[in-house]
Amino acid sequence: MTDILMPALSPTMEEGKLARWLVKEGDTVKPGDVIAEIETDKATMEVEAVDEGVISKLMIAAGTEGVKVNAVIAQISAGDDAPAPKTSGKNKSSAKGAEVHTRSDAKADAAGGKPDDSATEQKARNDGHRLRAPEQKVAAAEGLHDPTLPEGVTYKKTAVRDALRDAIAEEMRRDETVFLMGEEVGQYQGAYKVSRGLLEEFGDRRIIDTPITEYGFAGLGVGAAFGGLKPIVEFMTFNFAMQAIDHIINSAAKTLYMSGGQMGCPIVFRGPNGAASRVGAQHSQDYSAWYGHIPGLKVLAPYDAADAKGLLKAAIRDPNPVVFLEHELMYGIEFDVPEVEDFVLPIGKARIRREGADVTLVAHSRMVKFALDAAEDLAGHGIEAEVIDLRSLRPLDTATVIESVKKTNRIVCCEEGWRFFGVGAEIAAAVTEHAFDYLDAPPMRVAQRDVPLPYAANLEKLSLPNAQDIVAAAKKVCYREVE
C-alpha cells in the first residue's frame, strides 16, 4: 500500500482544496493518469499517479478545503487484485505516490524561474521560519495616525492578496484613468492571484497583459503617466524590476524635478518583494533600502491586509511615483480589514503595533510578524517591547521612532534585507542623531546575513532573520543574558 500525499504545488503553498477526484475506489491507474484536481490560492493543478496500482481508498472527500500539504489523500495498492504488500511498514510510504502538473501552462512560475515542483519538494517544507498561522490576529494597538473608524465598525477577514485586489478594483471604479499592467495580470489572473477577477470586471482595455519585458513596460507605464493616466505597474516580483529600475529612478522619480515641476508622474510600481521560500538568491531580495534611497519616490511596505488595502489606495491616488513593496509569504494570510467605504490610510505614518516601555522594535513588511512574536517571547522574560511597523519607508516616520526611543531608551531595527547601508542603518543613524542622550545601549540591527540567499533549506533558514534573532538582540540592548 502506498500513500498518496497532498502535494505542495508552489514554493509557498501550505494547504489547498481537493477540488475533484477523477478516479474512484477500485480504479486501476498507471503512471501519468490524472487522478485528482487541486486548487491552491494561485491555480488549479492536476495530480497524476506515479505508481501503477489500484486505488484502494480515497481518504479525503472531493470538495474538501484546507487540506494540509503532506496529508494522505488516497491509498494505492500495488497491482491488479494483488493484496497490499505485507512487508511494507504501516506508515512508511514512498511519499511519491503522485506527481503534479499545472493544468494550464506553467508559464508564470516558469517565467519567474520558479520550479513548479512536484511532490519531491514537499518533504523539505517543514522549515520553521515560515509563517505558519494564517489565523494570525491583528491584536495591534491602533495606528497613531490612522483615520478614526466609526463606532461599531465591523471587520472582514481578508487575505492580503484580496485586500490588494480590492484596493485596485475600488480605485479603478473610482477613476477611469487608473489601469493595471504587468505579466499575467489578466487572463492568467495574476501570477500570485492578486489581480483575480479584475479582467472580468474591467476588460482588457484596463487590465493589460504585457510581454515579459520589464524595462520596456515600466518605461511605457511612465510614459502613460506623463500622458495623463495613472498606471499600476505590477512586477511579478521586484527581483525582475531590476531590469526596469532605470525607468523607475531616472524617468519616474527624477522628471518632476528636472522639469521644474511640470511633469508629474502618478504611477504605482507594485509586486512581491523580499524572500519567498526556497527560490534562491536571484528570486529573494529585499529592495527596501534600494528604493528608500531615492528622492522623488515614495516607498511603502505594509504588513497586514488592512494596511495593504488602505495604503495601496493612497498610493494609487498619490500624484507621485510610488514603489509598493508586497511580500509573497504574506499574500495568503488573513487579517481583519475594516468594512468602511473608501478606507484610505495616510502615507508616511508608522503604526505602533504593540506598546511597551523597555525596548523599541522597528520593522516593516513581514518582519513585523517576527517582531510581534519576539515581543511576545520577551514579555515572558519580563521585557515589554514596543513594536513599530514603519509601513512607509519614504517618507520615513522617524518622529514616531524617536518618541518611542525616548520612552524605551533602547532600539532594535529589524529588516529582511541586508544590513549594509540598509533601512536599519538609516533608523539607527536617525535615532543616534536625534535621541542620543536617551539611548542606554547602542542601537542594534537584525537583518539578513551578508550573503546571497542560499537555496538549501537549512542554509536559507540560517540566512534570514527570525524572531529569535530579534529576541536575542533585544535582550542584548537590555543587557540581559542571552541564552
Partner 1 sequence: MAAKKSGAKTRKPVSEPQKAELVQFYRDMLLIRRFEEKAGQLYGMGLIAGFCHLYIGQEAVVVGVQSVLDPDDQVITGYRDHGHMLACGMTSRGVMAELTGREGGYARGKGGSMHMFSREKNFFGGHGIVGAQVPLGTGLAFANRYKGQDNVCVAYFGDGASNQGQVYEAFNMASLWKLPVVYVIENNQYAMGTSIARASAETELYKRGISFEIPGEEVDGMDVLAVRKAAAKAVQRAREGDGPYILEMKTYRYRGHSMSDPAKYRTREEVQEMREHHDPIEMLKKKLLDAKHVTEDDFKKIEAEVREIVNDSAQFAQDSPEPHPDELWTDVLVESR
The residues that are catalytic are 214, 283
240 sits near partner 1 (criterion: CB under 8 A): no
The strand ranges marked E within 64-104 are 64-68, 72-77, 98-102
The one-letter amino acid code at 27 reads: D
313 sits near partner 1 (criterion: CB under 8 A): no
142 sits near partner 1 (criterion: CB under 8 A): no
398 sits near partner 1 (criterion: CB under 8 A): no
Encoded one letter per residue, x for contact with partner 1 by CB under 8 A and - for no contact, window 246-275 reads xx--xx---xxxxxxxxxx-x---------
Q: What are phi and psi of 239, to 5 degrees?
A: -60, -40
324 sits near partner 1 (criterion: CB under 8 A): no
Task: Considering the complex, state which of residue 120 and residue 259 has its C-beta at the smaller distance from partner 1.
Answer: 259
C-beta of 172: minimal distance to partner 1 in Å?
13
C-beta of 267: minimal distance to partner 1 in Å?
10
Among 188, 226, 331, 343, binds partner 1 (CB under 8 A): 226
169 sits near partner 1 (criterion: CB under 8 A): no
Task: Considering the complex, state which of residue 39 and residue 318 has its C-beta at the smaller distance from partner 1.
Answer: 318
Residues 463-469: contacts with CB under 8 Å, at least 24 apart: 464/129, 464/275, 464/416, 465/367, 465/370, 465/414, 465/415, 465/416, 466/129, 466/370, 467/370, 467/371, 467/373, 467/374, 467/377, 468/374, 468/377, 469/370
**What's the start-to-end Cα distance of the chain, in Å?**
46
Q: How far apart are CA 332 and CA 327, in angstroms?
A: 10
C-beta of 318: minimal distance to partner 1 in Å?
8
215 sits near partner 1 (criterion: CB under 8 A): yes
Size of the site for partner 1 (CB under 8 A): 44
Task: Considering the complex, state which of residue 232 and residue 374 has its C-beta at the smaller distance from partner 1.
Answer: 232
Closest alpha carbon to 44 in 183, 155, 188: 188
Ranges of H-type helices in 318-455? 367-380, 398-408, 423-434
Encoded one letter per residue, x for contact with partner 1 by CB under 8 A and - for no contact, window 108-137 reads ------------------------------
28 sits near partner 1 (criterion: CB under 8 A): no
Cα separations (Å) of 383 from 108, 134, 320, 378, 472?
45, 27, 41, 5, 12
DSSP assigned state of 218: H
Q: At what angle are helices 160-174 and 305-317 packed, to 10 degrees?
A: 30
298 sits near partner 1 (criterion: CB under 8 A): yes
Among 319, 342, 455, 462, binds partner 1 (CB under 8 A): 319
317 sits near partner 1 (criterion: CB under 8 A): yes
Ranges of H-type helices in 198-295? 198-202, 214-226, 245-246, 255-258, 288-292
C-beta of 173: minimal distance to partner 1 in Å?
17
Task: Considering the complex, state which of residue 299 and residue 372 has its C-beta at the smaller distance from partner 1.
Answer: 299
392 sits near partner 1 (criterion: CB under 8 A): no
Cα separations (Å) of 315 from 224, 266, 305, 328?
17, 9, 15, 19
Among 4, 69, 163, 218, binds partner 1 (CB under 8 A): 218
Pick the piece of the chain touching partner 1 (CB under 8 A) from 130-138, 227-235, 358-366, 457-465. Answer: 227-235
Closest alpha carbon to 296 in 326, 324, 334, 323: 323
323 sits near partner 1 (criterion: CB under 8 A): no
Pick the piece of the chain touching partner 1 (CB under 8 A) from 123-131, 317-325, 377-385, 471-479. Answer: 317-325
**Burial per residue of 69-106, b for 16 or more beta-carbon CB atoms within 10 angstroms, e otherwise:** bbebbbbbbbeeeeeeeeeeeeeebebbbbbbebeeee
229 sits near partner 1 (criterion: CB under 8 A): yes
| Chain contacts with partner 1 (rule: CB under 8 A) | 177, 179, 204-205, 208, 210-211, 213, 215-229, 246-247, 250-251, 255-264, 266, 295-296, 298, 317, 319-320
